[in-house]
Amino acid sequence: MGKIKQYGRTILVLILMICCMADYVYAKDSLLIIRLEDIALKQAVDGIRSQIRQDFLIVEMIVNADTAENEISRKMKDISPKLVVLMDNAAISLYKKFRKGLPDSSEAVPSVSMMASFMDIMIRDIKNAAGIFYEVPVVTSIVNLRSVMPSVPLKKIGVVHREFMEQSVKTNREYCKKENIELVSQIIPGDDVKSYLEKALNRLRDQNIDALWIPNDNKIVNASLLQSVWFPFAGQFGKPIIVGVEVLVQPKFKFGTFAVIPDPFELGVQAAEIIFDIRDNGWKAEGRGIEPPRSVFKIINMEQAQRLFRIDKEKLSNIDKILQ
C-alpha cells in the first residue's frame, strides 16, 4: 500500500511539473491598453479581445483628466508590456508625457493608437508607433449623402478649420475632385476662435455652398461654441451639415444631417491585425504609417432630412442608423 501511495505522489509531482513547464512555454506576452471610460472605446477593446485574447495577456488602464504620467510609468513597470494600445487623444497625450520623462536610450515599446482625432499629428513624435485614422474622408460622406438626397445639389462643400489642418483639407480636396466636388475652405487663424468662426461661416454661406463639413476639432466644436455659434448658424443655413461624431446627428440638437464614422468593434479587429504584424516583425512598428478605417457606420438625422430635403427612401437600406 505504501508503495502505491509513493507511486501516486510521484505521478502527481510529475503532472505538476509538466503543467508548470507548459505554463512557462506558453506564457503570454502582455499588452497594455490605455483608454478613457467610454462606451465606444470599450467596443473597440472588445474587437481587439475577440482576436488576440488567446495570444496575449490583456491589461486595461482606465485614465481620466487627473491621471498623472507617473501612473503610466508604474503600470509599465508592473506588467512590462510588449505593446501598448492608446485610445483617444487624452490617452495618447498622457503616454507622450510619460515617454518624455524617459532617457533617450530607453527602449521604445511599440504602440498602436486609435479612436483619436488628427492621428498623423498626435503620434508624429512617438517612436515605434502605428495607428488607425478615425476621420473618414469627407467625400465618403458626400457620395453616400447624395445617394439618399438626389434632389439636393452637393457639388460645393464648405469647411472651416484651423491652420494646422491645412494639409488634411488639401488631401480631402483632392479626393473630392475625383467625384466632381469642390471643397472650399475658410481658415481660422490665432486663438480668437469665436470671432473668426462666425465670420468664416458667413463667408462660406455667401459663397453659396451646398453643404457644410465640420471636422472633429474640439477647439472649434465644443459645448460653448455649439450653443453660441453653430446651433444658431444651422437654424438659418437650411442645408446639409456633415459631422464626424454621432452625437451631433441626434435630432434633438437640430444640427448635423449626416455622419460617417468608423465602427468601433471593427476598428478593434483592425488594430488586432496590426498588433500581430508588429509582433511578427520583431516588435517594430516603424514604416507602417497610419491606416484608414476599413469599416464605417452611416448615420442620418431623418427628422431633419425629411423636414428640409427630399429623401429617396429606397436608398435608406444603405444607411446603418436612421435617427428620428
Q: How far apart are CA 172 and CA 149, in angstroms?
A: 21
Rounded CA-CA distance 45/53 in Å is 11
Q: What share of the chain has pLDDT > 90, as a percent?
A: 75
Q: What pLDDT is stored for residue 21 in this prediction?
A: 47
User: In the predicted model, what is the mean pLDDT of the chain?
Assistant: 89
Per residue in 112-150, pLDDT tens?
Answer: 999 999 999 999 999 999 999 999 999 999 999 998 988
Domain boundaries, the chain: 10-134+264-294, 138-262+297-323
Residue 277's pLDDT is 96
3-class secondary structure per residue, 193-227 = HHHHHHHHHHHHHHCCCCEEECCCCCCCCCHHHHH
Residue 19 predicted with pLDDT over 60: no
DSSP 148-170: H-TTS--SEEEEEEEGGGHHHHH
Mean pLDDT for 248-273 is 95
Is there a contact between 144 and 138 (Cβ–Cβ < 8 Å)? no
> Do 138-262+297-323 and 10-134+264-294 have the same topology in CATH?
yes
User: Is residue 3 over pLDDT 70?
Assistant: no
Q: Residue 185 is inside which H or E element, if any?
A: strand 182-188
Query: How is domain 10-134+264-294 classified at the CATH fold level?
Result: Rossmann fold (3.40.50)
pLDDT > 70? residue 5: no
What's the pTM value of the predicted model, to 2 decimals? 0.82
- Take residue 68 and report the three cell numbers written for it: 498623472
- The pLDDT value recorded for residue 22 is 43
Q: What is the mean pLDDT of residues 28-40?
A: 95
Which superfamily does CATH assign the domain made up of 138-262+297-323 to? Response regulator (3.40.50.2300)
pLDDT at 184 over 90: yes
Does residue 248 surpass a pLDDT of 80?
yes
> What are the tens digits of pLDDT across the range 299-323?
999 999 888 888 888 888 889 999 9
